[in-house]
Structure 1
Amino acid sequence: MSFGDPNPNPNNPYGQQPGQPPQGQPGYGYPQQGQPQGQPGYGYPQGQPGSGYPQQAPGTLQANNGYINVPVLGTVQVASMGRRLGARCIDAVVIGVVYAIFSAIGIAGAMGVADSVDECGSSLDPGYQSCVNEASSGFIATMLGMILVFGLITLLYEWLMISLLGATVGKMALGLKVVKENTGLNPGLGGGFIRWIIPIVGVFLCYIGALLVYLSPFFDNSGKLQGWHDRAAGTLVIKK
């Protein structure tokens, strides 16, 4: 045996102490040949549950940052209450102009009915009372007709536009859209009607109920800013 030989044992080609396994063999920090690195168990998560890369389900709000996953649309931003209020104001102006046109027509008709009372003659005439009754009935019919027209305008404007287009003129102007939360599509006639009728029912409570419905998104603690009418219809108001 030579003192300069680094491997005094010719039967130990790795030059290691007896009982120690040779380095570079499977099980000692090196993956086996043919086994790709980056698989589970080698410190490379692949987006599986528990790996730190969770998969977001549709309808999941992302960390309360105002973004939400919606089927078909992907990740979209929930509309702010400021934009929604602005859209509502624009819609009020549009409907107000239409109301004004029909109101002018209705007032002209009511004035015509009032003038007809003067044509009934003297109260001493035999047919005076029946003439007045007929004129009064015409006036009442005119006023009821105006109320009916106003209701139809609101119905057709809000219901049909939201149902078929997902937006009214005000929402289009401010880049907003109403979609079904579980599909990402337009609400449809059923969803649009439910969303429309709930505030209308509140109108019969001295408008307080309607005001509460429109303010109800402030009470939504889910972060989706869904009003009571949105929850009933299963809709979301998003920014396009």
Structure 2
Amino acid sequence: MNKSSNALANFGWAALPFIFLLVFWSLLRMTGLINPTLLPSPTEVAQTLWIHLNEGDYLINVWMSVQRVVLGLVMGMLLAVPVGFLIGWYKPVRRFVDPLINFFRALPPIALIPLAIVYLGIGEVAKVAILFYASFFAAVIVMYEGMIQISPVYIRVARTLGATDLEIFRKVMLPMTVPHMLTALRVALGVAWATLVASELVAAQQGLGAMIQNASAFFDLRTIYLGIISIGALALLMDIALRRISNRLVSWQDKAEH
């Protein structure tokens, strides 16, 4: 009963900001400060959702966008983790690679769309490549920054006990970087969702970004709002899932600290 009450209370606190947002949105429209034709009401957006669900295109758009984000995120993390370890472990490599990473990280993915089309075409590969690019550079920064913040005391103690470099990496560095991996995953997830609309500029016919772009051509503000809210909601739900997984995987750290 106590757990149920806590869960209900947590849900209430989490929902409260969105309730305030809906109230503010409705009041803003009612005050007339913004032309009602330029700001659809929450009810109108909900009705638009129902229309798209009945037409069958909404769930397809959601699935295509989630699929692209997950593919780009997974591929980006698969490369970011070993590269982050390499940069964090070897100082000469870090000095050489760090300027390059920061240079490419500063480039907005949308600027690479013309090159993606030229080299990869207009299919799914180009869209996923843009999300991969965004995810990788967001994650690798978090990875190696986390590694270099690990106290060298642990490494010196392990060497004193006769551990080899491989044993130090496997038994000291790897467990201690798990929280940083999970943080990198969450950061990369947010960046991937933020880059989604840009990636779907590459001749996408389906996806939430494509839905927003098609609606903008017809000045369909209800559908635009629906697409924006959908992207935010999906990103939030995936982040909540990652946070729960992270709490389970790194619970040993809290116990160790106490």
> Does the TM-score normalized on the shorter chain lie above 0.5?
no
Bigger radius of gyration, 1 or 2? 1
Q: Which has the higher helix share?
A: 2
Structure possessing the higher relative contact order (Cα contacts under 8 Å, 6 or more residues apart) = 2
Give TM-score scaled by structure 1 length.
0.28
